[in-house]
Chain A
């Protein structure tokens, strides 16, 4: 008999992927005020993966818990997660100190998640492989380390068999790699894993009735102190316009001219 899954899906509220990020005047962080935010796209993949596990019924899914740590507005992404199919959610409120100063580092998040995993009896955590704001790509790995669980990063396919073995396909340079670990474990999701659904109108209404618990960091007693100090944030230099060549011969001539070949 397969073990019923109790899934945790952490979701982060980030600047919408379609918005061009701009550095603030003080050059300490990216400007966030008055900018459209939405759920980190990789986290949408994670929610979708969890909901599809529930729909396939094999193994059975007991509960999908979404969690977001951040300012009050994170409630929006939790509502979206629940409208997509998460059963309930926890909002760990971190007062917004402005300009990203209050933001947790990956290690802080991982410690918090480790605590939630224990408190909530989770046996599977599905995270995005990275968040599109600071692209750290560390939280899932650190969480696996803290818990001592198996992990499969950048999943493009997930299968769980009757003996609680999780098989994950990951896209690597030049092909695919298949890894397997026994539950409990950590998965991080990559772009080709699935196509996340849109929250349908009836599900948006149902999400209003789902449970959203408010917590604070002190409830979990996690040491979230930052270990890194942001020294400076700068925009990449503007792209210089390139030239166009007519044909292959033109390309070769140009490369020679530039001393590239």
Chain B
């Protein structure tokens, strides 16, 4: 499998050696990455020039990325795998495991070393999320939301002071949550009703959020609330709220079909007062931040889904080609089975190509919004299909609540729902296409 995941090495090299080839990533181009999602055209001029880099296979990883993939794969199979079934049955994440995720540095992948993180690149995070999902998509989403939505929010929009305050904690001990959805606003996220109000030395937040991943484990919440409903979505503002704040409460923990070890809760904000410095970025910019974060975050969910598909496929392949015999031969030797396995693997590879391409484009400062949407749409479809077939390939052994086969199938469904449903991805893709093809 390691040959499968190898990166765009010349690109990684060029990025780490800014002086060569004149491929310097200037502060402007960083700025540009940030605003890319809302004003893509402005960015083209500043994007990392990759025209002189010889193309390499999209599956090619940098030395660091492959070392990391190896280390996480080992950690996942030796440490997480033995707990997967029990955590799913108990519908809870083992706190000792969360602690180990911090020890491994998995909770601060992109956080710079000076703030206690690993200081790795975006694709390293994608590799990590995928490797974890091969073994447990619940653990994978905990790491995914924490890194791609929460840490990135502080990294991109936090002041220097708030970075110094929060990033070391997020990298080493505090789990984070991202609170956008509400009971009455899901796909139409910016119709959110949670209100924020300016008070003497800060803000007061009231309302409720729904479907919040990590809320049991988290102490740190990024909350989107409307500071000025008269301005519509342009009143939406991002805040940092700690679990210990007065008026914060978890109202209900959902019982789910899949990713059951990942906590999902309803949260109430009952006049929660927070200090001024817990405003994230600027007032009224929250909707832009949410769009930008979710555009990137989607690549993470896509990676969760390709990891899941790969894990389900490998689990079944191991069984049909090594263990199970019928009619005096391994069931995986029947051509009818072989063709299905081959078709499924081909689809996984196609999905992974979309995921890694979106990720590398984001790193290169190119417009990746459509790529991310396509990756997430397709990866979740492939995950659903392959994990479902994998159960059939294993017969009764795939259907029982032992091993990971049936769990992967249940877990796959969420890929078509969170961080934008499949319909919403299709809408994004179609809108961008129509723009391009309108004469």
Chain A residues near B (Cβ < 8 Å): 34, 36, 38, 76, 79-80, 83, 198-205, 208
Given the known A-B contacts A34-B3, A201-B109, A204-B118, are A79 and B67 also in contact in the complex, defined by CB atoms under 8 Å?
yes
Given the known A-B contacts A80-B67, A83-B71, are A200 and B104 also in contact in the complex, defined by CB atoms under 8 Å?
yes
Query: B104 and A208: CB pair below 8 A?
Result: no
Given the known A-B contacts A34-B3, A36-B2, A79-B63, are A201 and B70 also in contact in the complex, defined by CB atoms under 8 Å?
no
Given the known A-B contacts A34-B3, A36-B2, are A198 and B75 also in contact in the complex, defined by CB atoms under 8 Å?
yes
Query: A201 and B2: CB pair below 8 A?
Result: no
CA distance A34 to B31 in the complex (A): 42
Given the known A-B contacts A200-B103, A202-B113, A204-B64, are A38 and B70 also in contact in the complex, defined by CB atoms under 8 Å?
yes
Question: A18 — nearest CB in chain B belongs to which residue?
Answer: B77
Residues of B within 8 A of A202 (CB): 105, 108, 113, 116-119
Given the known A-B contacts A199-B71, A202-B113, are A76 and B105 also in contact in the complex, defined by CB atoms under 8 Å?
no
Residues of B within 8 A of A79 (CB): 63, 67
Query: A201 and B3: CB pair below 8 A?
Result: no
Residues of B within 8 A of A36 (CB): 1-2
Residues of B within 8 A of A34 (CB): 3
Mask, B232-272, CB within 8 Å of A = 1, is: 00000000000000000000000000000000000000000
- Nearest Cβ on chain B to A256's Cβ, whole angstroms: 31
Chain B residues near A (Cβ < 8 Å): 1-3, 63-64, 66-68, 70-72, 74-75, 103-106, 108-109, 113, 116-120, 124, 128
CA distance A36 to B2 in the complex (A): 7
Given the known A-B contacts A34-B3, A36-B2, A38-B70, are A201 and B105 also in contact in the complex, defined by CB atoms under 8 Å?
yes
Query: B103 and A76: CB pair below 8 A?
Result: no
- Nearest Cβ on chain A to B20's Cβ, whole angstroms: 17
Between B2, B71, B75, B120, the greatest number of chain A beta carbons within 10 A of the residue's beta carbon is seen for B71
- Nearest Cβ on chain A to B132's Cβ, whole angstroms: 13
Query: B105 and A203: CB pair below 8 A?
Result: yes
Give the contacting residue for B104; candidates A38, A80, A201, A205; CB below 8 A: A201
Residues of A within 8 A of B120 (CB): 201, 205
Query: B75 and A201: CB pair below 8 A?
Result: no
Query: B106 and A205: CB pair below 8 A?
Result: no
Given the known A-B contacts A76-B63, A79-B63, A198-B104, are A204 and B71 also in contact in the complex, defined by CB atoms under 8 Å?
yes
14 new A-B contacts, CB < 8 A, other than A79-B67, A201-B109, A202-B119, are: A34-B3, A38-B70, A76-B66, A79-B63, A80-B70, A83-B67, A83-B71, A199-B71, A201-B68, A202-B113, A202-B116, A202-B118, A204-B67, A204-B71
Residues of A within 8 A of B74 (CB): 198
CA distance A217 to B52 in the complex (A): 38
- Nearest Cβ on chain A to B412's Cβ, whole angstroms: 26
Residues of B within 8 A of A205 (CB): 64, 113, 118-120
Q: List 22 A-B contacts (CB under 8 A).
A: A36-B1, A36-B2, A38-B70, A76-B66, A79-B63, A80-B70, A198-B74, A198-B75, A199-B67, A199-B71, A200-B103, A200-B118, A201-B68, A201-B109, A201-B120, A202-B116, A202-B117, A202-B119, A204-B105, A205-B113, A205-B119, A205-B120
CA distance A199 to B128 in the complex (A): 13
Residues of A within 8 A of B106 (CB): 201
Residues of B within 8 A of A201 (CB): 68, 71, 104-106, 108-109, 118, 120, 124, 128
Residues of A within 8 A of B103 (CB): 200
Question: A37 — nearest CB in chain B belongs to which residue?
Answer: B2
- Nearest Cβ on chain B to A85's Cβ, whole angstroms: 13
Residues of A within 8 A of B64 (CB): 204-205, 208
Residues of A within 8 A of B116 (CB): 202
Give the contacting residue for A198; candidates B71, B117, B124; CB below 8 A: B71
CA distance A83 to B103 in the complex (A): 14
Question: A75 — nearest CB in chain B belongs to which residue?
Answer: B63
- Nearest Cβ on chain B to A171's Cβ, whole angstroms: 22
Question: B16 — nearest CB in chain A belongs to which residue?
Answer: A208
| 5 A-B pairs closest in CB distance | A201-B105, A201-B118, A200-B105, A199-B71, A202-B118
Between B68, B109, B128, the greatest number of chain A beta carbons within 10 A of the residue's beta carbon is seen for B68
CA distance A203 to B70 in the complex (A): 14
Residues of A within 8 A of B75 (CB): 198
Question: A39 — nearest CB in chain B belongs to which residue?
Answer: B70
Residues of A within 8 A of B124 (CB): 201
Question: A195 — nearest CB in chain B belongs to which residue?
Answer: B78
Question: B102 — nearest CB in chain A belongs to which residue?
Answer: A200
- Nearest Cβ on chain B to A186's Cβ, whole angstroms: 28
- Nearest Cβ on chain B to A115's Cβ, whole angstroms: 29
Between A76, A79, A201, A202, the greatest number of chain B beta carbons within 10 A of the residue's beta carbon is seen for A201
CA distance A199 to B66 in the complex (A): 12
CA distance A76 to B6 in the complex (A): 14
Residues of A within 8 A of B71 (CB): 80, 83, 198-201, 204
- Nearest Cβ on chain A to B2's Cβ, whole angstroms: 6
Question: B106 — nearest CB in chain A belongs to which residue?
Answer: A201
Question: A38 — nearest CB in chain B belongs to which residue?
Answer: B70
CA distance A76 to B128 in the complex (A): 18
Question: B116 — nearest CB in chain A belongs to which residue?
Answer: A202
Question: B111 — nearest CB in chain A belongs to which residue?
Answer: A202
CA distance A166 to B67 in the complex (A): 34
